[in-house]
Amino acid sequence: MFRFFKKKQAEKNNSFDDFPAIGGLMVSKMIVDKKFKLGFMYREKRTRPEDSGWRIFSGHETEEYTNNPSNAGIYNPSTILEIDPSIADLLLKGVGAVYERTGGNKWHKVTDYKMQDDYMVTHKLGQSWTITINNLFERTLEENGDLLYTTGDKSVRLAIWNEEKSRENIYAKHAAIIKDRDETVARTLQTFEFSDAEVARIGYLINEGDKNKNYSVLNGFSITDNQLIQVALYFDDEVDINWAIETWKNIK
């Protein structure tokens, strides 16, 4: 689910030809043609499959300059990384990421920049369920029938299951699964219970990873009579646990 770039130690010329295929970058020509330093970048929801969503500026552009399409171009990541390798890790951040370069020449995360597609939407899940989630998440149906929402660094995978049992019986079954799960691969870090009058919710938190990255997964069950939604919420920043919990609660 997550792809991460690692520079080859044997390479001597800082080539970025093997950088992950995230799509094209829209970059101000002040950077490419006039050699201004990169100063501001954000990743919005992509407009087409070959678009990364990244918009990169020097910070010296006027509104008139930016509004002229001829003052920006679409470039491969390797082309811009040859100009400024410092953004290699930033380019792997998810949709919604915003960064600004400060006087100390370091990149800092911006939290108060509002993007056009940054608002909450409610989608139907089958006949009975809905989810309220930020519109920045891309929604796809996977081959196995699971529904996936992702920004790249945060993801939500959902599956709806029918069970001819009462809410109480389904809850008890999955409470036992959580209690008795095999922890040799991933230890249960925390358990959760957020039931209300309409939906019973029970879940648990684990850490997973591969050779490049560790990330957290909140596995949750939202239960009513005869039906449940199984959800897995993936995130690689610990502070996003609150996002995971709220998104889970927003399945109603």
* 53, 26 contact by CB (below 8 A): no
Please give the Cα distance from 147 to 237 (Å, whole number). Answer: 22
Q: How many Cα atoms are found within 13 Å in the side-chain-facing hemisphere of 48?
A: 5
Among candidates 223, 179, 175, 181, which has minimal Cα distance to 198? Answer: 223
Place of tokens 């949750």: 220
Domains in the chain, ordered, with CATH?
A: 24-109 (no CATH), 120-249 (3.40.1000.10)
pTM of the model: 0.86
How many alpha carbons fall within 13 Å on the CB side of residue 4?
A: 12
Beta-carbon count within 10 A of 88 CB: 16
Distance, CA of 167 to chain centre = 31
**pLDDT of the chain, 252 residues: tens digit per residue:** 444 334 443 343 456 778 989 999 999 999 999 999 999 999 999 989 899 999 999 999 999 999 999 999 999 999 999 999 999 999 999 999 999 998 778 999 999 999 999 999 999 998 899 999 999 999 999 999 999 999 999 999 999 999 999 999 999 999 999 999 999 999 999 999 999 999 999 999 999 987 667 899 999 999 999 999 999 999 998 999 999 999 999 999
